[in-house]
Structures are given as structure tokens and as C-alpha cells.
């Protein structure tokens, strides 16, 4: 990797962040820098950005792209999230530089947005991977963007900046599953080229939700005002509760077995902009990071609870895009 000094101009929302940093340009022609780089099997692709899996104690709070712990953890999370789409699309996923969990403790949405922009190396990695993917791998196929948590914070920059600069790529986006991170009304207002999903088969849209228990309490670093949400069973934005027997299937993260029907129901709370799940044992499934999510957050189960619903919906949107 070659070291050079780069000035990044990132246009996101209603402000411009300008910062200088010594960036290492990652070589994405090297297969070792990809978590997943399959041969073409399907007529559509997924480009996946994994969530926070870095647990390093480094003072910078960053995991470099070659960090062994991060890479191994990313492989595990890939099975729990990205493989929801492995029967409908070719899944491409780059390794990238990311913050560790400690960087977000007792934080808040606005600060996390800013930290995302300050991760110059991570953004350079993702942009470099996108450049390589579109020029060398995609070959004009429709694609879906998929991300979670910190990966979704980066994905919002990709949508607001990279895709705005590359309409030739953006036109082939069937959908963007930006899960586990707020997509707000203000974000869409500041990015009029983007739109949020309204139903199960609209294309070129953003899909987003985060799941919690009815009695969620304490801090939630990923809570924002005016965040939008869609129901991951009905794929509508109505507030009617959809029972668990309508859930196509949930993934058990320990056994990797799928339970059908799924174990989770889903009901939108529009005021909070989240999905409420009332049919699982909170103590068993809540994410054990109280300094980030308090009690009663199912943030770590956003994909697993609705695993087959995500798979089926991706197929619906891809088919709609191909047959439009």
C-alpha cells in the first residue's frame, strides 16, 4: 500500500467536512483485502459493509484493515447478516478500517456521525473498494447495498456522497438495506436524490429499522429524532403489529439453524422510529453493551430475527428491478 497525503472533501447532508490525513490506499485487486469476493453466480450483487466488530485496546480506538481480530470477527458476523442474501445475489464485502466499541461508549447520534466522517482511512477503504467493485467486478449488474450499525453510518456517507458523484453506478441500485442506524427525515431532505421505502417491492430505495423490546430503558447511542422505519415482516410503514407466525424464519446465531416460522413479531413505534418485538426473551436476546444500548435493545439481532424475510424481500426487489 502506498502512503500519500490526501485531502478528503465529503459532502454529506447540509455540511462539508474537510480534513487532511495520511491515508494508506488499500489495494483491492488483492483478494486478501476482501471478506467476500465470489465468482458470478446470480444476476444481481450485494455490496456489504459489516458492523462494529473491532475490540482492540489500541489508543486510537481503531482497527486497521489487516487487524486479525477484526477480520475473524467480521467472518462470524458475515454468516449472521450477509448470508441472508446468499441465495439471491453474489455477495461482495471488503475489509475496512473501523472504530472499536469503546469509541462509541456514552456517545450520541450526532457525535457518531462526526466520528464516521473523521475516520478518513475507513472511508478511503470503502470508497476504494467501491471503485474496484464497479470497475472490475460488477459488470453492470443490479446490486443491493447492505450494512449494519457502524457499517450503516458509513453507508449513509456512500449514499449521500459517493452515489451522488457517480450516477452511472447509482442508477443500478435495486435497494439499500441500511439497518441498525438512524435514517432521518433531515438526511433525506438534504439528499433529495435518495428516498425511503414505502412498500415491499419499490426499488432504488433505502430500507432501515432497529429492533428493541417493549420495555427498553437507558441509553441508546443510535437514537435520533425523526428517524424513519419500516416493518421487516410486512415491509410497510403502518403501525399494525405483525405476529411472529407471519415471520418467514429467524436465524439462531449459535447453531446457525433457521426456525420457521420466525420467533419475532414486529410493530412499528413511529414516535421512536424503531421496531418493537414482544415475543422473545429480552434477557436472552438483548445486546450486552449497556454503555451503548442500555437495557432491552435487540440491536445485535436486527438481521437474525427476520433472516428469511430479508432474503425474500431482496429477491422481490431484485426481480422487480430486473423486470421493470
Cell, residue 84: 441472508
pLDDT in tens, 83-140: 999 999 999 999 999 999 989 988 899 999 999 999 999 999 999 999 999 999 999 9
On whether residue 127 sits in a domain, the answer given is yes
On whether residue 149 sits in a domain, the answer given is yes
On whether residue 40 sits in a domain, the answer given is yes
The number of domains in the chain is 1
> Residue 18: its pLDDT value, please?
35
Positive or negative: CA dihedral 99, 36, 208, 263: negative
On whether residue 183 sits in a domain, the answer given is yes
Q: Omega of the bond prior to 215 within 30 degrees of 0, cis?
A: no
Residue 173 belongs to what domain range?
A: 2-205+299-322
CA atoms of 82 and 201, how far apart (whole Å): 20
| pLDDT for 260 beyond 80 | yes
| pLDDT for 5 beyond 60 | no
On whether residue 240 sits in a domain, the answer given is no
CA atoms of 204 and 170, how far apart (whole Å): 8
pLDDT in tens, 125-135: 999 999 999 99
On whether residue 11 sits in a domain, the answer given is yes
Q: Which helix (H) or strand (E) holds 39?
A: none
On whether residue 37 sits in a domain, the answer given is yes
Cα–Cα distances (Å) from 82 to 46, 108, 213, 268, 314, in that order, read 8, 26, 24, 24, 12
pLDDT in tens, 208-245: 999 999 999 999 999 999 999 999 999 999 999 999 99
On whether residue 264 sits in a domain, the answer given is no
Q: Provide the whole-model pTM.
A: 0.93
pLDDT in tens, 159-184: 999 999 999 999 999 999 999 999 99
> Residue 59: its pLDDT value, please?
75
Amino acid at each position: 500500500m502506498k502512503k500519500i497525503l490526501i485531502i478528503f472533501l465529503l459532502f454529506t447532508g447540509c455540511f462539508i467536512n474537510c480534513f487532511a490525513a495520511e491515508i494508506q490506499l488499500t489495494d483491492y485487486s488483492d483478494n486478501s483485502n476482501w471478506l467476500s469476493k465470489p465468482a458470478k453466480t446470480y444476476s444481481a450483487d450485494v455490496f456489504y459493509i459489516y458492523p462494529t466488530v473491532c475490540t482492540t485496546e489500541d489508543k486510537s480506538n481503531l482497527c486497521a484493515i489487516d487487524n486479525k481480530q477484526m477480520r475473524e470477527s467480521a467472518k462470524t458476523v458475515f454468516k449472521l447478516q450477509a448470508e441472508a442474501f446468499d441465495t439471491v445475489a453474489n455477495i461482495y464485502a471488503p475489509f475496512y478500517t473501523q472504530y472499536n466499541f469503546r469509541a462509541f461508549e456514552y456517545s450520541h447520534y450526532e457525535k457518531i456521525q462526526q466520528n464516521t466522517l473523521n475516520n478518513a482511512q475507513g472511508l478511503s477503504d470503502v470508497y476504494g473498494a467501491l471503485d474496484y467493485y464497479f470497475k472490475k467486478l460488477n459488470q453492470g449488474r443490479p446490486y443491493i447495498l447492505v450494512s449494519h450499525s457502524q457499517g450503516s453510518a458509513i453507508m449513509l456517507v456512500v449514499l449521500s456522497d459517493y452515489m451522488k458523484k457517480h450516477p452511472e453506478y447509482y442508477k443500478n441500485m435495486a435497494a439499500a438495506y441500511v439497518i441498525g442506524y438512524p435514517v432521518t427525515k433531515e438526511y433525506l431532505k438534504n439528499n433529495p436524490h435518495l428516498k425511503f421505502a414505502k412498500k415491499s417491492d419499490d426499488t432504488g430505495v433505502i430500507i432501515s429499522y432497529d429492533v428493541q423490546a417493549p420495555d427498553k430503558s437507558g441509553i441508546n447511542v443510535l437514537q435520533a429524532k425523526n428517524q424513519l422505519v419500516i416493518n421487516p415482516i410486512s415491509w410497510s410503514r403502518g403501525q399494525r403489529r405483525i405476529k411472529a407466525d407471519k415471520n418467514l424464519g429467524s436465524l439462531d446465531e449459535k447453531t446457525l439453524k433457521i426456525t420457521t416460522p420466525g420467533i419475532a413479531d414486529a410493530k412499528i413505534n413511529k414516535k421512536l422510529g424503531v421496531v418493537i418485538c414482544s415475543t422473545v426473551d429480552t434477557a436472552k436476546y438483548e445486546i450486552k453493551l449497556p454503555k451503548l444500548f442500555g437495557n432491552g435493545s435487540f440491536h445485535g439481532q436486527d438481521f437474525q430475527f427476520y433472516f428469511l424475510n430479508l432474503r425474500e424481500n431482496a429477491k422481490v426487489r431484485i426481480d422487480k428491478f430486473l423486470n421493470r
